Amino acid sequence: MQPAIETLNSRQVYANSWMTVREDGVRRADGSESIYGVVDKPTYALVIPRDGDRLHLVEQFRYPVGERRWEFPAGTAPDRTEEDPAELAVRELAEETGLGAGRMERLGTLDVAPGMTSQRGHVYLATELTPGPHRREHSEQDMRSAWFTHAEFDDMIARGEITDAQSLAAYCLLRLHDAR
């Protein structure tokens, strides 16, 4: 099957250690031409640490929205490199929470915002948890973490205290997993 959009050209317009931005000239199926601005970021892993009825979240200041946000632990490999998502999940869990998982189960895949970014994430459920020291990156120095019950998590969503789209979508994957 032929793609509905053909890439005519591509140029990088910005890059840093976390992302690149490119502008692609495209031709649509009807022959009309246009451009797409695309943010390329590496694959990330998001981990839902669960101990019985409790979920472990991290909170940090998110500069683009100017507020602190509760989220599930997540991250990418440094310098835009691609890393095996399962290995990345183990690393992010230990880095952000200090937790180790005796069991890590893949729940699914998320596209962050497919209309503007190529980034894709893999969601894991971490159980059989053991505590240890966190190993946060310098940029995560303001991060804190805490346990919440499923009911508390649901209430935080209802009050608008959890708004991170990836965490909300991951929670949906967890609920589907548990319903099976």
DSSP letters, 75-135, are: EE-GGG----HHHHHHHHHHHHH--EEEEEEEEEEEES-TTTB--EEEEEEEEEEE-----
Q: 127 with 156, same domain?
A: yes
State the average pLDDT over residues 22-38: 95
> Could you tell me the CATH number of the domain that includes residue 141?
3.90.79.10
pLDDT of residue 4: 83
pLDDT for 128-171, tens place per residue? Answer: 999 987 877 767 778 899 999 999 999 999 999 999 999 999 99
DSSP 167: H
**What does the alpha-carbon distance between residue 125 and residue 177 come to, in Å, rounded to a whole number?**
10
Q: 16 with 68, same domain?
A: no
Q: 33 with 110, same domain?
A: no
Whole-number Cα distances in Å, 113 to 128, 129, 167: 32, 31, 14
Q: Across the chain, what does the average pLDDT equal? A: 92
Q: 116 with 151, same domain?
A: yes
Number of domains, the chain: 2
Q: 108 with 151, same domain?
A: yes
Q: 20 with 36, same domain?
A: yes
Range of 59's domain? 44-179
The backbone torsions φ and ψ at residue 169, rounded to the nearest 5 degrees and listed phi first, read -65, -40
**What does the alpha-carbon distance between residue 24 and residue 77 come to, in Å, rounded to a whole number?**
25
pLDDT of residue 78: 67
Q: 59 with 33, same domain?
A: no
Q: 130 with 162, same domain?
A: yes
- The β-bridge partners of 159 are none
**What does the alpha-carbon distance between residue 39 and residue 149 come to, in Å, rounded to a whole number?**
35
pLDDT of residue 167: 97
**What does the alpha-carbon distance between residue 48 and residue 34 come to, in Å, rounded to a whole number?**
40
pLDDT for 103-125, tens place per residue? Answer: 999 999 999 899 999 999 999 99
Tokens standing for residue 65: 């929205």
pLDDT of residue 1: 60
Q: 107 with 19, same domain?
A: no
Amino acid at 164: D
Note if the pTM is more than 0.75: yes
Q: 125 with 164, same domain?
A: yes
> Which is higher by pLDDT, 158 or 84?
158
Q: 64 with 126, same domain?
A: yes
Kindly report the number of other CB atoms within 10 A of residue 21's CB atom: 16
Q: 61 with 142, same domain?
A: yes
